[in-house]
Amino acid sequence: MPFLSSAVGLLSENLFAALFPSDCRLCGEPLVNISRLPVCGECISRLQSIDGVLCSMCGERIFSPFASEGQAVACGLCRRAAPPFTRAVAYGSYQRELRGLIHLLKYEGVLPAKKVLGRLLAEAIAGLSADLASEVLVIPVPLHANKRRQRGFNQTELVVGEAVKIIGGGKLQVDSTLLVRRRNTESQIGLTRHQRRENMRGAFTLAKRAVVRDREVLLVDDVFTTGTTVSECSRVLLRAGASKVWVATIARTLKVEARVGEVGPMATIQALRAAV
């Protein structure tokens, strides 16, 4: 019977490949399972959370022989200038399979990707659960109206919806209408940190300021790069009276990791010194 079972399984896989020929959109390997998400199981299994010692404010990875996991330690940048939000968490590093999956949803409209990304976002939010108030207002970072019309959706809203289904909506109250992107900003790609701040200055406003007064807010975005976008949103929320702003993203760019990978021992030494 085991032989018969394996033979039937092989036959069904070959039949699927013949009737529905397709390749994984991330690695290019042939897909052998029926799924609305055109991504193979191997790529999904390689979606890994960030490990190691992380900054207790921005979530950057810290390389230091004096820091240990579970210890509250801030990176050099946050020590020099603390961010306006209380703490930011992310599920994984913005690279490889995770980057590809986000791009499938964001730029190619592969909507089934929202379920997997929602699960990852729920795991990231779970890292804040001990600190969050009994009721938290969840606000996805908005797109400008022009970009939303062009794309047809806000990917962050979709992923937040999936995450809240997993976590349960009792504690998390989602409102996608409060924060408004009133200016269609330029792409942040290639801009310096100062240019990013100037690009985002005044880009957001609140439709109803009274709603956030004296409330904790969980601000959600798809990717944390330099933190410029979520910092600007946080300032708007805090000026309107929010008691605290937390940040959760699916992925984040690990700047220290990128710098350690630069060519030459001096670049590595400087990156490690900057992290402690």
Q: Which residue has the tokens 């606000």?
A: 139
* Closest to 134 in 3D by CA, of 87, 173, 108: 173
pLDDT at residue number 270: 42
pLDDT at residue number 66: 67
In Å, the largest CA–CA distance within the chain is: 69
User: pLDDT tens digits, residue range 86-138?
Assistant: 999 999 999 999 999 999 999 999 999 999 999 999 999 999 988 999 899 99
Q: Tell the burial category of 76 from Cβ atoms under 10 Å away from its Cβ (0-12, 13-18, 19+).
A: middle
The token duo for 72 is: 């509250």
User: Which element (helix H / strand E) includes 137?
Assistant: strand 136-140
Residue ranges of the chain with per-residue pLDDT less than 50: 3-4, 8, 16-18, 257-276
pLDDT at residue number 168: 85
Walk me through the domains of the chain, giving residue ranges and CATH numbers: 1-46 (no CATH), 50-275 (3.40.50.2020)
DSSP 30: B
* Closest to 272 in 3D by CA, of 58, 67, 93: 67
pLDDT at residue number 268: 38
The token duo for 275 is: 């992290």
Angle at 187 between CA 99 and CA 88, to 5 degrees: 55
DSSP strand pairing (244-252 vs 216-224): parallel
pLDDT at residue number 114: 98
- What is the CB neighbour count within 10 angstroms for residue 258? 12
* Closest to 52 in 3D by CA, of 37, 31, 30, 67: 67
Q: Return d(Cα 76, Cα 50) in angstroms, integer.
A: 19
